[in-house]
Structure 1
């Protein structure tokens, strides 16, 4: 990132006013520095020479005290507003990064960028504070105080001004040389920190599975190695910072000493007056001070600069524009997929491939549609296409209201479409609050309605074990509840929705983490959704869900080369694809799945 990157001003509104304020305070600081040096010299020179008594110097001492107080107040204001602007800037960038990452969609996040964005939006952007509080103000002071003080020194003593003008370019030269090395080290440190964060997040997410297979202690070596790499990178950055700080301090100290020696020799030989000599000696360190501070705080800001670069890289990713057409009422409408194909991340396959599916929403009898197929065929992706979270690479997803022309789902405003859909992912994310409020979701429902939904979703068994019952507090994301308990809470919340307003329910492998009893709860909820007249789309892996379906749709993957036809083993009648083990014979009561080449079958 440049010393003052225009992208920061473009993306962070708080940074704009802060830069203007810092520039104004910089000019005020430059004027106060010059005034302090001149007034101090006018006080010391007569006092040393004995040409004025204390009474004569009183007004000048008072003026000096006022200048010092004003300079102190300016520094305080700079620090105060810098902290406030840094907090707001980080908050704005964090919000924009998260919002834009969501707009980029699940496919982009699933490409491995999700953990990076999580690390960037938390600890990564917090490192931008030293840049805003320390580095940027000193950079602006270097652009104001240094030229102003050098101009005053030139008016007082041209010899000292020439010495300063010759030596001062050495400071930014060493800063550039050392800064490039430090910037590379900080970028490597941020990458290591992101890898460490991603590894820990993956480990925590898969910890129950690792514990079940007795492999919980295996990944700790990898996490320890990444932590050690992060420690080495941090210590390397600190070593470079200390060494470069020493170099800059030595360089500026020697430069000030050369000026002081020259001034002293001319004072001895009578070639210079005492008052201008004192003013030059006071101003000489002030000329170098902003540059020294820039070099000192540059190393503390490199982590933030590297994080800002990554934030801008995320924000520069082109996201699909959200639709603007209001969604019609889904009850009575038709949601259809025609020849839909989606490329599966970085794999050279289409999943799904050439899928046709038609859902009539809000019928009086309700309907359950099961999506089946081999692992990786694109069942979850199909659900995301229906939800408008993923756009097809080929084919169309349309929403057609009665007596209206079909609407491309990509043109529909999500804020008007999503409230009419209930979605239960594999790992539901719940809002924090009382369990009663989480289930009600802002709806005006009675206790009888809550109890009825709880019984259907099996939540009543959870309420009996959770202290406080309906008044139990649930943490952010459902902390305090198991995955199965969170699914029951989400099912109960979906059951409370008005079937006329929420006619579509999408369930993504709802029995994946449940035992037989929990599976039965899901089946009861699915039947309850159908009895309410809703259309239920369920990603089915188990035979029990296929049994409960009215329509069974087999999702198939396809070849990316030439966008060829569907490939992969067919699921023969009498077998249950992924509902059981591959090739495991069915029970005989399982409805036949769609044979190769077909896409949908309806149960009579």
Structure 2
């Protein structure tokens, strides 16, 4: 069935009917359930014909043939069986349709999350997080009606009227011709109204995405807004955004109700035409009573699938509007060079570890998508095994981009990165990242227990390993003071923990991961002096026997670095130790005099 719809779309025989080939490809994963939905629906249509035939026969025999109850008992039993069977078929169709929607939605969410993970933080930082969440949750959810209602109804709208015509034409040629001629009126009006509905539905989903992004940004910055006394102004802005979404939604509902009215009116008028021509011929004795009654019963059922398709059309429109954004994300080119060159399938593995191999950037250049100027320009340097390398520069110099390259979130536009003699592009990303531990200024903590948050670093870590890492990071004392110990649950962003406790948890992750390469983004930068001093010793212990890259925002933290890299406007302008660079009086000395490190 899915293949037939795809061919129809390709040949242009289905016009403006919300048939998206990419959505049809997704439907193939639930093709069995989709086929069952159509079979149950078609069986229901055929049972309607059987029901109409039995009912018309019973009425004709009782009122025209003057038969007794005993004579029509077999037909009444058959009619009862048809009623029961039809109810079972309707239930089976709904169950199968829900199965289609559940499987496809689950698959799409999985694809979307996997794609976002592959695109990495560099892509997500350029997007509104609330909008991405709305696409993954509400956007995918809006496809429920598309797969469970619209697609099956699209097939049934063609098959059930055809079955009715097959049953009507042998009984009355004129009535069959009237049904055939009036049937296209409903799709025509549906398409005309659908053009307006398409624009309104797209506008509604765009308003929903913007409102979701705006509301999430407001929640995340609520503390700052309160501190600056801007919460009332923000509340007024939220009201404006909500009103915009309300107007868009009401516009869609208005069009939907208008469509329902028009389709019901067309269906009623078409049925009335059939009823009038049958009544006139029945009056003059040109049509049998049983035939006339059968046709009158099935005439509304002939138009019902087409009218239902009109209602499902709007549900399908909402799904297609949401799918556009979903597939826009899925179609986003990945900057990961592995996927571009096909090296993701190579079986290369890191030989040894980075503890005994230099990590080198060789003429690395990087352009962010859509930007004409490179953020990193012809960068070349090596991090020797066991070295502590500091990366300094003003804000926007390219420090975070360089760290993202090393973490594998993005890949160089030009040049290459290698570990020993192996190019980064030739190493599976899982193996590459397994060698790295990252500790940032604000650790990313999730809702869950402390153990759950630690096992992000090593999902198969035993409790003994977790406790050992916690002791090394000074987290064990914190856990011992908590009422629920390791089972203590925290909220998103570390709600329930102080800033120092959250950073100890992040450092414990790094100890637990025990990777040879450590990237530090000044984990003590936002702490008070007492907490900073307490964590400084932990950080120094973490750096022992590891290769370390420190993104320095305060230059006093890099004096003991083995090598200092100075970035300026994307260029590596200086490289050396503190005293040597200071004596040169160049970019590093100017940063030091200005007291800047890129914050």
Map Cα deviations across residues 311-358 of structure 1 (whole Å, 9 max, x no partner). Answer: 222223333416333233323122111121212454443222222221
Q: Deviations along 1:217-245, whole A, 9 cap, x unmatched?
A: 44333322211100110011001111110
User: Which of residues 340, 350, 361 in structure 1 aligns to 2:364?
Assistant: 340
1:444-593 matched pairs, under 5 angstroms: 444=462, 446=464, 450=467, 453-454=469-470, 456-459=472-475, 462-463=478-479, 466-475=482-491, 478-481=494-497, 484-498=500-514, 502-531=515-544, 533-558=545-570, 573=582, 584-585=593-594
- Contact 2:507/2:539, CA 8 A, preserved across alignment: no
The structure in which a higher percent of residues are helix is 2
**2:37–2:94: 8 Å Cα contact kept in structure 1?**
no
CA–CA distance in 2 between the matches of 1:189 and 1:556? 44
Deviation of residue 492 (structure 1)? 1.2
CA distance in 2: counterparts of 1:76 and 1:459, whole angstroms: 56
Q: Is the 8 A contact 1:456 1:521 kept in 2?
A: no
Q: Where in structure 1 are there 5+ consecutive unaligned residues?
A: 401-405, 559-564, 594-604
Residues of 1 paired with 2:331 and 2:452: CA distance? 38
Aligned-partner Cα distance in 2 for 1:45–1:476:
71
Cα distance in 2 for partners of 1:141, 1:492 equals 59
> Deviation per CA, 1:361-388, whole angstroms, max 9, x where unpaired?
3xxxx33221111101111111111111
Distance 1:231 1:49, change over 3 A: same
1:52 Cα deviation after fit: 1.6
CA distance in 2, matches of 1:423, 1:156: 78
CA gap 1:201/1:78 in 2 versus in 1, 3 angstroms: same
Query: 2:406 is matched with which residue?
Result: 386
How far off its partner does 1:429 sit?
Answer: 2.8
Tell me the distance in 2 between the aligned counterparts of 1:3 and 1:434: 45
Q: Using the alignment, how far apart are the partners of 1:73 and 1:577 within structure 2?
A: 83
**Partner Cα distance (2:586, 2:95) in 1:** 64
SS in 2 for 1:105: helix
SS at match of 1:317: coil
Judging changes above 3 Å, is the alpha-carbon distance between structure 1 residues 206 and 464 closer, same or farther for their aligned structure 2 residues? farther
Say which is worse superposed, 245-254 or 308-317, in terms of deviation: 308-317
- How many Å separate the matches in 2 of 1:493 and 1:313? 35
d(CA) in 2 for partners of 1:577, 1:453: 41
Is 1:351 the counterpart of 2:371? The answer is no
Aligned counterpart, 1:598: none
Deviations 1:235-273 (A, max 9, x none): 110011111101111110111011111111111111100
Displacement, 1:456?
5.0
Does 1:396 pair with 2:416? yes
Are 2:58 and 2:76, in contact at CA under 8 Å, matched by a contact in 1?
Answer: yes
Evaluate the alpha carbon distance shift between residue 209 and residue 477 of structure 1 in structure 2; reply closer, same or farther with a 3 A threshold.
closer
**Conserved in 2, the CA contact under 8 Å of 1:373 and 1:577?**
no
Instruction: Normalising by structure 1, report the TM-score.
Output: 0.86
Q: CA deviation at 1:289?
A: 0.2
Q: Give the match's secondary structure for 1:517.
A: helix
CA change 1:273–1:436 in 2 (3 A) is closer
Deviations 1:524-582 (A, max 9, x none): 23311222x01121211023422353321112324xxxxxx7799xx983899999996
**Contact 2:393-2:591 within 8 A present in 1 as well:** no
Partner of 2:38: 23
Alignment coverage as a number of residue pairs: 565
Q: CA 1:347 to 1:438, structure 2 compared with 1: closer, same or farther past 3 Å?
A: same
**1:213/1:345 CA distance change after superposition, 3 Å:** farther
Verify: 1:367 aligned to 2:387, yes or no. Answer: yes
TM-score by length of 2: 0.87
- Aligned residue for 1:573, secondary structure, equals helix
Residues 543, 579 of structure 1: 8 Å contact kept: no
- How far apart are residue 411 of structure 1 and its match? 2.1
Question: How far does residue 309 in structure 1 lie from its aligned partner after superposition?
Answer: 2.3
CA RMSD after TM alignment: 3.0
- Which is worse superposed, 338-347 or 370-379? 338-347
Query: Taking structure 1 as reference, are residues 487 and 105 closer, same or farther at Cα in structure 2, changes over 3 Å only?
Result: same
Unaligned runs of 5+ in 2: 1-15
Q: Is the 8 A contact 1:111 1:345 kept in 2?
A: no
The 3-state SS of whatever aligns with 1:341 is strand
Shift in Å, 1:398: 0.9
Name which of structure 1's ranges 506-515 and 152-161 shifts more when overlaid on structure 2: 506-515
Q: Post-superposition shift, 1:445? A: 5.4
Query: For residues 441 and 222 of structure 2, what CA distance do their matches in structure 1 show?
Result: 16
CA distance in 2, matches of 1:471, 1:317: 40
SS at match of 2:411: coil
Question: Are the equivalent residues in 1 in contact too, given 2:519–2:548 (CA < 8 A)?
Answer: yes
Query: How do 1:71-220 residues align onto structure 2 when only pairs under 5 Å count?
Result: 71-112=86-127, 114-220=129-235
- Distance in 2, matches of 1:348 and 1:219, equals 35
Matched, 1:260 2:278: no
Contact 1:115 1:194 in 2 (8 A): yes
- Contact kept in structure 2, 1:575 and 1:585, CA below 8 Å: no
Q: Is the 8 A contact 2:56 2:294 kept in 1?
A: yes
Instruction: For residue 476 of structure 1, report the CA deviation from its aligned partner.
Output: 5.7
